[in-house]
Amino acid sequence: MGEHIIFIGFMGAGKTTVGRAAAKALDRRFLDTDRLIEEKAGMTISRMFETLGEAAFREEETRMLMELLNEKGPAVISVGGGLPLRRENRRLLRMLGNVVYLRVRPDTVWKRLDGDATRPLLQGKDAVERVKSLLGDRGPLYEAAARLVVDVDGKTVGQIIREVEEKIRKGME
Ligand code: S3P
């Protein structure tokens, strides 16, 4: 098994914020699949969805996980909210290391992402209902992909990181 720490979870769960802070605390490199895909494609994810379609973006996510298997040295990796939905991706995630599911409630997502224009899946009307229904569908898949689950609602980044470290340590005992 790989040695990385990988954060998965719904949009707005704090994967990037927590991932970046955890990388700093552990003195590791921080990688974010959304940013890596944007750099490689030379366009934003919104633009990718518009011009190439969601399916092309999903292909890039799987390709990126395969590339990350060659990443040397333990890193902290955050992945896009829809990445764990493919069975193949869940397998690759587990190969990369310790998969941590940052579990968030729909109301927290909504508070955090109200007015955000960078998530194509949450644009337009009925976004509140969409968050609820997507989270309902995805929750079991996130749980299937993860070794650890941490609830994030109402917690500070520091609290979340301490909980992650504690759970990883316990899992290793
Ligand atoms: C997506 C989540 C986004 C990004 C894309 C699709 C999803 O990442 O990959 O907009 O399907 O949940 P974040 O979870 O980092 O917002």
For residue 2, what pLDDT is reported?
63
**What is the residue-averaged pLDDT of the chain?**
95
> How many whole angstroms from 172 Cα to the centroid of ligand 1?
30
Residue nearest ligand 1's atom 9 by CA: 80
Strand order in the sheet with 4-8: 29-32, 75-78, 4-8, 97-103, 148-151
CA atoms 37, 115, 102, 163: torsion sign:
positive
pLDDT bracket for residue 127 (50, 70, 90): confident
pLDDT tens figures, 32-83: 999 999 999 999 999 999 999 999 999 999 999 999 999 988 999 999 999 9
> How many whole angstroms from 9 Cα to the centroid of ligand 1?
9
What whole-number percentage of the chain has pLDDT above 70?
A: 98
- Of residues 44 and 171, more confidence is placed in 44
| Dihedral of the alpha carbons of 29, 35, 38, 41, in degrees to the nearest 10 | 20
For residue 13, what pLDDT is reported?
98
For residue 125, what pLDDT is reported?
86
pLDDT at 161 over 50: yes
For residue 49, what pLDDT is reported?
97
> How many whole angstroms from 150 Cα to the centroid of ligand 1?
19
Ligand 1 neighbour 34 (Cβ under 6 A)? yes
Residue nearest ligand 1's atom 4 by CA: 80
For residue 1, what pLDDT is reported?
43
What is the C-alpha to C-alpha distance for residues 29 and 24, in angstroms, rounded to an integer?
Answer: 8
Ligand 1 neighbour 11 (Cβ under 6 A)? yes
Q: Rounded to two decimals, what is the model's pTM? A: 0.96
pLDDT at 173 over 80: no
Ligand 1 neighbour 120 (Cβ under 6 A)? yes
Ligand 1 neighbour 61 (Cβ under 6 A)? no
